[in-house]
Amino acid sequence: MNRHHTWAAAAAAALVLSLAACGGSASPPSTQQTAASEVFTYDTTAPVMVDGWDPATEYSDGIIAMSEMYETLTRYDPATHAVGPLLATSWTSADAGRTWTFHLRHGVVFHTGRPMTAQAARAAILRTIKLGGGAAYIWGAVKTIGTPDPYTLVFHLSYASPLALQASADYSAYIYDTQAGGGSALATWLNAGHDAGTGPYTAQTWNKGQEFEVTLKEFPQYWGGWSGPHYGKVVYRVVPQDTTAAQLLRSGQVTFVEQINPSLWSSFKGDSGVTLVSSPSWQNLLGQLNVKRLSLPLRQAISYAIDYQGIIAALQGAGVVSSGIVPPGLFGHFGDLPGYSYDKAKAAALLGQAGYGPGRKPLSLSLTYTQGDSNEQVVATIIKSDLAALNVNLSVQSLAWPTQWAKGKSSDAAQHQDIFMEYWWPDYADPYSWFTNLLQTENPPYFNLSYYSNASLDRMINQVEPLVATDKPAAGQLYRNMQVTILQQAPMLFLYNANYQYAMLSGISGFRVNPAYPNVVFVYSLKP
Amino acid sequence: MTALPAPAAPPPVPAPRRLAPLRRAVRASPLITAGGAIALLIVLAALAAPLLAPYPADAGSATHPEIALHAPSLRHLFGTDQVGRDVFSRVLYGARVSPLVALFVLLIACAVGIPLGVAAGYFGGVLDEIIMRVTDVFLAFPPLLLALAFATVLPASLTSLTIAIAITWWPWYTRLVRGQAASVAGRPYVEACRALGIQRWRILLRHVLPNSVTPVIVQVSLDVGGVILTASALSFLGLGAQDPTPDWGLMVAEGENYFTTQWWLVTYPGLAILLTALAFNLLGDGLRDVLDPRWVPGVRER
């Protein structure tokens, strides 16, 4: 480039920089040539759609696509607040929740062509337990699995557990063909972009890191059949820019947009071509406070220093104030817990106890959040602002999730942040996941990135799972006590409970938000 | 100066004589006047930002979420951003960020590039070869790409951004000055200095350096716009300033997802980048013309 003649280029580049905000997208591939009425295009702003194809270990957004390819024994129904049949048509429990018998659906075939029998389901669950990844802890009580006949599974548990509920989990509960992949290792075969489920759709293409990342096609032998109107193809399209996603929906190039900022979402109001869906979720944004560095008064001070109502105002409908760790609508939620609200004076007094605060020495803290999430960015900016008013200098770092997580769980404590911001949601319709993953003693740390350890809380966590199976009111009371303990000890900030704000093309019926399966659409149930 | 008459090359032009063509240029070229005026306005805005900004705290860590995303009004001339900060105040304070980055980048580039260029041009030989080959390695990459690579490995901050861009910028000055220095080094008055036994460092500092840097003045003025654009591009990618620094590139990046619904978040900082880059480039272009001995007012060669 001739740098002596750059003024015109400079002006053009500045314009380009401004216009870059408009985003852009590649030309659609041939999948878009199919009739629009048959193709359901799911638009996500997440950086990747599927980062692991093994149904035993996937523990992230991959379930959005996997839930179309794989099925579980039961499925949670938000209308009845109970689990309903899926691969299992009925089930019973005996021996005070220590023995569970599931009767399997007949005529179900894996995408590999093999029949789904009790032996195959047993093999899948045993493999998931053996690998121990994802949410494999849901099978933690299982001692043995019997198969008295080809369509009956009998679980013998070492302690009472709500197995029918756990079998509906969004992670590690999928039933798959362990014989898939021929002679090669199953994990290797799966991670090449294959699937071995029983769901209505099967993997057709996987373009890792590409905009059109995953394409699924209908599985002709699906047990539910294909009579009536159904989508024949599902395309997962990764569009990081909210504005581009909104434009794609306006022009009918995508069917469903998973997440756009509240302002853009509201801009569709009055647009007859687009249906807006807003619904409470079981997903909350948390800030895990590093208890190794922050004393109790400091943790409580930070909890009081944050303008929670301000966060809700800035989110413009995308969130509501939290009460404890469990979101509303989920068993274990209590709206009257003694939580924290914005109280600058209390925060200053608590900081003062530790020798910090206005007029004293400054306190420097670090916060990490996941890059690309505009809501997390807004919250981080508000927290920084609130803490700055109390002479606390917060260094905010936005990192790609793998980097953020690696830093948080690093064996080198010097790498650890003071506040780790992340979303959490349950693995099945119960709050157990928050406690066992985020708050139970862990060494080395994995998801407990507060590095919190409380023997009394650990005991309560161990007690609650059997109680859910045998004495639900007692389990509810225990969840309440656990939350009161957490609020007193303040190892984490409860920043807000997320509201789902979806936008989809009008004229599609059958869509129901199921908060037990975050952002999953269940395309088979839709009528185009 | 003890320069002897040099019929082969024009003698160094004394400074006072430059003012006359400059005045002529300003009269003859409205673009130069406009560029200078805008640049002056930007500098004044940067200096007077605390007086002009209606909400100076919004350029720092203050947020007002209850008034997030308000459209431009008399209360907030450029509207408010996603956490309720006054965009006008932040754009004004932004004039203290990007131009300052440009200033530091060019200072570093000159501090490194000019001495190396003078040394390479004056001494020639192996030293010249080594310096120029290293320079060629850096020049082989597009500046933005190289700066992007350096900025990626450094922690995201304004300091890292400045260093990353400066690393890519100095070779241009080395190459530019080297040619001039080589030309000056062969002139009779420099040879006369050598013959008189004047020390090398004195010849370099008193004679070669002052007579080699004239093109650098033009280059610096042209590069201000280029550096601002590069810095803004890197900040846009999250590799430069971090919130709440009111950096224009960062403001454009943060407003990206609101572009179609809250246009003011992107438009005003984008316009600030455009105007600043344009102003300094017009100014540099004009200066180049003025300092070019072949330049005749009203006749512009391209």
Residue A27 pLDDT more than 80? Answer: no
Cα distance from A434 to chain B (closest Cα, Å)?
Answer: 29
Q: In terms of Cα–Cα distance, which of B168, B182, B181 is closest to B109?
A: B168
Chain pair A-B, CB pairs under 8 angstroms: 145
Residue linked to tokens 């290797």: A188
**Domains of chain B (ranges, CATH numbers):** 26-59+75-96+244-302 (no CATH), 99-220 (1.10.3720.10)
**B92 at interface of A, judged by CB pairs closer than 8 A:** no
B198 token code pair:
């004047």
Q: Which of residues 88-117 of A touch B (CB under 8 A)?
A: none
Report the residue from B223, B252, B281 with minimal CB separation from A21. B252
Calpha distance B152→A55 (Å, rounded):
34
| Record: contact B259-A267, CB cut-off 8 A | no
Provide CB contacts within 8 A for B77, sequence distance 6+. Answer: B54, B88
| Record: contact A17-B261, CB cut-off 8 A | no
Taking each helix axis as running N to C, give the angle between helix B30-47 and helix B16-28, from 0 to 180 degrees, rounded to the nearest 10.
Answer: 100
Q: Which domain holds residue A417?
A: 281-498
**Is residue A241 included in any domain, yes or no?**
no
Amino acid identity for residue A243 in this structure: T
| Record: contact A11-B278, CB cut-off 8 A | yes
* Average pLDDT score, chain A: 90
Q: Mean of the pLDDT values across residues A128-141?
A: 95
SS3 A74: strand
**A17 at interface of B, judged by CB pairs closer than 8 A:** yes
Q: Which of residues 295-334 of A touch B (CB under 8 A)?
A: 307, 310-311, 313-314, 316
Strands (E) located in A410-491: 419-424
| Residues forming a β-bridge with A279 | A500
CATH number at residue A292: 3.10.105.10
B225 contacts on A by Cβ (under 8 Å): 6-7, 10
Cβ–Cβ under 8 Å, residues B226 and B76: no
- Kindly list the distances between the CA atom of residue A302 and the CA atoms of A165, A185, A331, A418, B83, in Å, as whole numbers in the listed order: 36, 49, 28, 11, 20
- Minimum Cα–Cα distance from B260: chain A residue: A243
| pLDDT band with cut points at 50, 70 and 90 for residue A46 | confident
Report the residue from A3, A266, A313 with minimal CB separation from B66. A313
CB atoms within 10 A of CB A424: 19
| Record: contact B274-A18, CB cut-off 8 A | yes
B286 contacts on A by Cβ (under 8 Å): none
Calpha distance A289→A279 (Å, rounded):
29
Calpha distance A346→A344 (Å, rounded):
6
* Rounded-to-10 torsion of CA B138, B139, B142, B147: 30
**Is residue A79 included in any domain, yes or no?**
no
**Is residue A374 included in any domain, yes or no?**
yes
Which of B258, B259, B267, B292 should one mutate to test binding to chain A, selecting the residue with the greatest count of A CBs within 10 A? B259
Provide CB contacts within 8 A for B33, sequence distance 6+. Answer: B26
Return the half-sphere exposure (C-beta side, CA atoms, 13 A cut-off) of residue B261. Answer: 22
**Is residue A160 included in any domain, yes or no?**
no
Calpha distance B218→B172 (Å, rounded):
13
For the segment A195-245, what is each residue's pLDDT rounded down to a tens digit?
999 999 999 999 988 999 999 999 999 999 999 999 999 999 999 888 899
Q: Which of residues 66-85 of B touch A (CB under 8 A)?
A: 66, 68-69, 82-84
Residue A370 pLDDT more than 70? Answer: yes
Report the residue from B65, B232, B302 with minimal CB separation from A17. B232
So what's the ipTM on this one?
A: 0.76
**A261 at interface of B, judged by CB pairs closer than 8 A:** yes
Query: φ and ψ at A368, to 5 degrees?
Result: -120, 145
Amino acid identity for residue A151 in this structure: Y
Report the residue from B82, B281, B288 with minimal CB separation from A10. B281
A381 contacts on B by Cβ (under 8 Å): 63, 82-83, 243-244
Element (H, E) at B253: helix B248-255
| Record: contact B274-A11, CB cut-off 8 A | yes
Q: Which long-range contacts (CB under 8 A, 24 or more apart) does B294-300 make?
A: B295/B21, B295/B25, B297/B24, B297/B25, B297/B27, B297/B28, B297/B29, B298/B28
For the segment A275-328, what is each residue's pLDDT rounded down to a tens digit?
999 999 999 999 999 999 999 999 999 999 999 999 999 998 899 999 999 999
SS3 B169: helix
Cα torsion angle, A75, A77, A83, A86, sign: negative
Cβ–Cβ under 8 Å, residues B215 and B180: yes
**B286 at interface of A, judged by CB pairs closer than 8 A:** no
Cis peptide before B244 (omega within 30 of 0): yes
Calpha distance A394→A311 (Å, rounded):
17
**Is residue A226 included in any domain, yes or no?**
no
Q: In terms of Cα–Cα distance, which of A76, A72, A70 is closest to A86?
A: A72
User: How many angstroms from the chain centroid is the CA of residue A223?
Assistant: 28
Calpha distance B161→B166 (Å, rounded):
8
Per-residue pLDDT of chain B (302 residues; tens, 9 = 90+): 444 444 444 444 444 455 565 666 666 667 778 888 999 999 999 999 999 999 999 999 899 999 999 999 999 999 999 999 999 999 999 999 988 999 999 999 999 999 999 999 988 889 999 999 999 999 888 888 888 888 888 887 889 999 999 999 999 999 999 998 988 888 888 888 888 888 888 888 888 888 888 788 888 888 888 898 898 888 888 788 888 899 999 999 889 888 889 999 999 999 999 999 899 888 888 777 776 655 555 554 44
The reported pLDDT for the residue numbered A94 is 95
Report the residue from A310, A314, A384 with minimal CB separation from B244. A384
Calpha distance A48→A58 (Å, rounded):
13
Q: In terms of Cα–Cα distance, which of B276, B145, B253 is closest to A22?
A: B253
**Is residue A417 included in any domain, yes or no?**
yes
Cα torsion angle, B124, B130, B132, B133, sign: positive
**Is residue A523 included in any domain, yes or no?**
no
Residue linked to tokens 């740390």: A445
Cα torsion angle, A465, A468, A470, A474, sign: positive
Taking each helix axis as running N to C, give the angle between helix A455-470 and helix A472-489, from 0 to 180 degrees, rounded to the nearest 10.
Answer: 160
**Is residue A211 included in any domain, yes or no?**
no
Report the residue from A1, A18, A374 with minimal CB separation from B257. A374
Total domains present in chain A: 1
Amino acid identity for residue A388 in this structure: A
Query: φ and ψ at A16, to 5 degrees?
Result: -60, -40
Query: φ and ψ at A130, to 5 degrees?
Result: -65, -40
The reported pLDDT for the residue numbered B299 is 52
The reported pLDDT for the residue numbered B9 is 45
Secondary structure percentages of chain B, helix, strand, coil, to 5: 70, 0, 30
